[in-house]
Amino acid sequence: MKKVSLWIGSLVVGSMLSLPLSAQQQQPDSPDYNPKASYEGPYKMNTWSIAVHLGPSQFFGDLREYDFFPVTGNSSDTQSEWGTFQGGVTINKQLSYLFGVRGDVSLGTLKGMKRRNYYRYFRGNYTDASLSGTVNLKGLLFGPTKMKHWKIDGYAGFGQVWYNSTAYELGSGREIRSTDGTTNDWIIPMGVTINYELTKRLDLGLDFRVNHTNSDLIDATYGGDFSRDPADGIVISNFPTSRKGNSALDKYGYGSVMLTYKLGKNPLRVSKQDGKYTYNPDQGGFYNLRYTDPKLLVKPPKILTLEEMDSVAKANRPKDIDPKLLLDTDGDGVSDFFDKEPNSPAGSVVDGSGRVIDFDQYVKNALASGAACTEIFANVMFETDRNEIKAEYREMLANVAALMNKSGCRLQLAGHADRRASDRYNMALSRRRVEAVRAYMVNEAGLKDASKIIVDYFGAFKPIADSATREGLMKNRRVELRLLP
């Protein structure tokens, strides 16, 4: 009995210490997560219950004839230890599927006798109140998917007992000692509760408990005060002044039937459907945390078939892009959708609307009027797999550099290639073309501040023409120039 009590106590204390750690777990990334739930889970659940229990009580201490079985008859030197009872109320709060707390208030009677040494018996009654932590042993040992309607708890805690007892001499019934009214002491309750879920509201179970007391006086007898004088009188002097005698501290307990009523609105009880337990929290009710692990309520992700994925993709596919937004027929850097002059000669300098600009005249007007720099687009075209600047573009680049030296203009360069190579090679080629234009403007065209140039490159990922034709391939081999204010 002592080893079992210590094992249950250590288990419960360890589980109570782990509660703060479990409360720090991250919330599941679920669209159904309810931050107001009183546990770590996606759905609100019922967590409170109240129970009544009734059954025989049992005393373990000095005035106890046998270790396990009570004396059942009366005679000249025997007093029955049978006929004691206890009853009470328990309030349960489930903190998580594995851990909870319970508060108990109970009252009862105790009896005991001892022929050897003491030659006496006692009668007493008590009231106790306690608070205990509970561990779901069924969940720990078997998991949440086995024995769905069973709950086996181990528990331990602390509390107070108020008791009033009197000890008598066997045979004569002469009073030897009493507690002189009601006396109180600390108790450490330990026990096991077994419940079965009868309905959505009611559980039927058994509760077995042992209360360890900080007293040796519950039987109105100190351990060791059994000496007798020659006149057959009881020596009652020189007793301890504390509640502890020479023997072990007293214990008492009970085994009782427990009926539990589960509180909360719209209770649900899991049942079998097609031979399988199925949880459906969306049916307008709440499962009880006593029997349901919240993880079982999380809906498993749906694995789509190829047909379903294709259907979803088609339903969510954006509208087709207007081809005019992707085409640049004249290769001036302005898409046909916005190009006011879609047939500009190759190499022309254009404005944001794709209209051809006389660059020299633009420079003269800008310098004469002191106007702010405006956006100008142009392209530098390249031969296949080459990054040398053609002669036809050198004057244009020199004019751009001159304008940048005389104003606050900046230049954005974006390199491109046609599709006739691997992506990795085309990225490197478009980068070499951008660096070639940048180097020419700094080293040849005389650009004073190289930091005014912004460089980027895209390989063959941003074509402006159809790569299925020779003309389209030529237009895609380019560096786009965009003059910025």
Same domain, 373 and 473: yes
Same domain, 293 and 148: yes
Same domain, 272 and 374: no
Same domain, 362 and 266: no
The CA-CA-CA angle for residues 371, 377, 378, to 5°, reads 125
Examine residue 133 and state whether it is found in any structural domain, yes or no: yes
Same domain, 288 and 348: no
Same domain, 154 and 61: yes
pLDDT of amino acid 360:
58
Instruction: Quick: pLDDT tens for 380-390.
Output: 899 999 999 99
Examine residue 302 and state whether it is found in any structural domain, yes or no: no
- CATH number, domain of 447, equals 3.30.1330.60
Q: Is residue 332 over pLDDT 90?
A: no
Q: What is the crossing angle of helices 391-406 and 359-369, to 10°?
A: 10
Residue 75, C-beta contacts closer than 8 angstroms, at least 6 positions apart: none
pLDDT of amino acid 226:
58
Q: What is the mean pLDDT of the chain?
A: 82
Q: CA-CA-CA-CA torsion for 271, 276, 280, 281, nearest 10 degrees?
A: 70
pLDDT of amino acid 409:
84
Q: How many residues does the chain have?
A: 485
Examine residue 188 and state whether it is found in any structural domain, yes or no: yes
Q: Domain ends where: 297, 314, 342?
A: 297
381 SS3 class: strand
Same domain, 120 and 209: yes
Examine residue 309 and state whether it is found in any structural domain, yes or no: no
Q: How confident is the model at residue 323 (pLDDT cuts 50, 70, 90)?
A: low
Same domain, 108 and 222: yes
Examine residue 306 and state whether it is found in any structural domain, yes or no: no
Examine residue 318 and state whether it is found in any structural domain, yes or no: no
Examine residue 87 and state whether it is found in any structural domain, yes or no: yes
**Phi, psi (rounded to 5 degrees) for 379:** -125, 145
- Which parts of 407-468 fold into alpha helices (H)? 423-443
Q: Domain ends where: 297, 314, 334?
A: 297
Same domain, 367 and 278: no
Same domain, 330 and 471: yes
Same domain, 275 and 375: no
Per the DSSP assignment, residues forming a β-bridge with 108 are 86, 126
Residue whose C-alpha is closest to residue 355's, from 380, 330, 373: 330
Q: Domain ends where: 237, 262, 297?
A: 297
| Tokens (6 digits) for 363 | 């420079």
Tally of domains within the chain: 2
- Write the CA distances from 344 to 283, 336, 375, 420, integer angstroms: 68, 11, 17, 26
Same domain, 197 and 258: yes
Q: How confident is the model at residue 17 (pLDDT cuts 50, 70, 90)?
A: very low
Domain that holds residue 86: 2-297
Examine residue 48 and state whether it is found in any structural domain, yes or no: yes
- CATH number, domain of 78, equals 2.40.160.20
Q: Is 198 left (phi over 0), alpha (psi -120 to 50) or beta?
A: alpha
pLDDT of amino acid 35:
52
Instruction: Quick: pLDDT tens for 185-217.
Output: 999 999 999 999 999 999 999 999 999 999 888
For residues 381 and 447, is the Cβ–Cβ distance under 8 A? Answer: no
Can you give the pTM of this predicted structure?
Answer: 0.56
